[in-house]
């Protein structure tokens, strides 16, 4: 050992990293990653009716809300400094069909929610989910024929859905379907319809993940048969995620997303280093549910797990984070 022991048993070290961690003030100065309410987009579930609040049993503090109550939530989110809301519709079975026709209804639930939020909470950016599953009797993100998810025939449906949301006043459409070529197809359709100002947040690297379970319960949107592995990505792959992100950017994506977040921090980090558009990450329903489930058992502290998980997602390189913790985290930051 190069350093010499003193009489008190101390040794001489030039480098003592602990000096930078000695007090809270010093730790604040040394902090490399700082969360802000403006980093967050809150995912939310909208349902039909008035004064409806139906809790989602697997997701503590999360509920399906009718538009009137959703407006209150949006107001609260906006007042807390949260940047955006990402909307998913709960579609009654009677309005589901093979072609997800309801998704293009100009007076449909999601469109109605978008226009009312735009009117009442103009400061909040609105992101609209684009995929067939909430509207489809098959529960898949694209069109099902036999046991196949048909790529190209899904694209016009996704484009019509995007235009309907654009008409209602959405700021960004967020295609979560993972069909090939949909970003270019949707971009062209939006431009031709006069919505060149509407952005596209592409779920570029969306993995076939077990962590979406609670979400599918919330929307009652689980695939009726099969799984999503022919369109969502294999969790084992990272190079493919880069390929997907670069393709979506070529096709016109304004922002690309990695989903889920917590188990894919390496993918977030790599994509951040490869692209110049903003990178979003989605801390999905299962990630949220796991933290609360462990906390309910008394095994971890939910508030600290929230902060640590979100800080890690930002540290990995996410510029924007979709999280069900958005409100709680924003409150904690106040």
Return the active site residues.
206, 259
Structure tokens at 263: 């188990």
Exactly one of 80, 284, 306, 313 binds ligand PBG (CB under 6 A); that residue is 284
Q: Which is nearer to ligand PBG, 142 or 199 (CB)?
A: 142
Give yes or no for residue 202 binding ligand PBG (CB under 6 A).
Answer: no
What are the CA-CA distances from residue 18 to residues 6, 21, 22, 104 (Å)?
19, 5, 6, 58
Contact 100, 57 (CB under 8 A): no
Site string (157-196) toward ligand PBG, x via CB under 6 A? -------------------x--------------------
Task: Report d(CA 108, CA 168) in Å as an integer.
Answer: 10
Residue 216 interacts with ligand PBG (CB under 6 A)?
yes
Query: Which x/- pattern, by CB under 6 A, does the window 217-236 give for ligand PBG?
Result: -----------x--------
Choose which of 285, 289, 313, 325 interacts with ligand PBG (CB under 6 A): 285
Is-cis flag, bond preceding 80, omega within 30? Answer: no
Instruction: Give the range of 32-40, 108-116, 143-151, 212-220 binding ligand PBG by CB under 6 A.
Output: 212-220
Scanning the structure block, which residue is given the tokens 């730790």? 27
* Segment interacting with ligand PBG, rule: CB under 6 A, options 14-22, 33-41, 210-218, 301-309: 210-218
Kindly state the smallest distance separating residue 5's Cβ from ligand PBG, in Å.
55
| CA distance to 267, 312, 332, per residue, from 263 (Å) | 9, 11, 24
- Angstrom CA distances, 174 to 120, 165, 257, 280, 285, stand at 22, 10, 9, 11, 17
Cα angle 191, 197, 201 (rounded to 5 degrees) comes to 90
Q: What are the residues binding ligand PBG (CB under 6 A)?
A: 129, 131, 133, 141, 176, 212, 215-216, 228, 284-285
């Amino acid at each position: 050992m190069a350093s010499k022991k003193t009489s008190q048993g101390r040794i001489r070290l030039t480098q003592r990293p602990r000096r930078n961690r000695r007090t809270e003030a010093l730790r604040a100065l040394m902090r490399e990653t700082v969360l802000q309410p403006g980093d967050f987009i809150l995912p939310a579930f909208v349902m039909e009716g008035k004064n409806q609040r139906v809790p989602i049993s697997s997701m503590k503090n999360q509920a399906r809300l009718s538009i009137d109550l959703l407006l209150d939530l949006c107001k609260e989110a906006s007042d807390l400094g949260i940047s955006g809301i990402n909307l998913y519709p709960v579609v009654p079975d009677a309005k589901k069909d093979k072609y997800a026709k309801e998704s293009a209804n100009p007076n449909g639930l999601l469109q109605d929610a978008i226009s009312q939020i735009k009117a009442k909470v103009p400061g909040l950016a609105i992101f609209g989910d684009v995929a067939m599953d909430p509207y489809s009797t098959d529960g898949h993100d694209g069109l099902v024929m036999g046991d196949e998810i048909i790529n190209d025939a899904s694209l016009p449906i996704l484009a019509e859905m995007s235009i309907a949301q654009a008409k209602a006043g959405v700021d960004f459409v967020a295609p979560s379907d993972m069909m090939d070529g949909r970003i270019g197809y949707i971009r062209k359709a939006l431009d031709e319809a006069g919505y060149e100002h509407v952005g596209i947040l592409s779920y570029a690297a969306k993995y076939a993940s077990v962590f979406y379970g609670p979400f599918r319960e919330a929307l009652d949107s689980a695939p009726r048969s099969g799984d999503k592995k022919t369109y969502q990505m294999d969790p084992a792959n990272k190079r493919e995620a880069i390929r997907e992100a670069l393709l979506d950017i070529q096709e016109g994506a304004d922002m690309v997303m990695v989903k889920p977040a917590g188990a894919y921090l390496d993918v977030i980090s790599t994509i951040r280093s490869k692209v110049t558009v903003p990178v979003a990450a989605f801390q999905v329903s299962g990630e949220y549910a796991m933290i609360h489930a462990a906390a309910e058992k008394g095994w971890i502290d939910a508030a600290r797990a929230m902060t640590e998980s979100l800080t890690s997602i930002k540290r990995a390189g996410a510029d924007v984070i979709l999280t069900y913790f958005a409100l709680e985290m924003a409150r904690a930051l106040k």
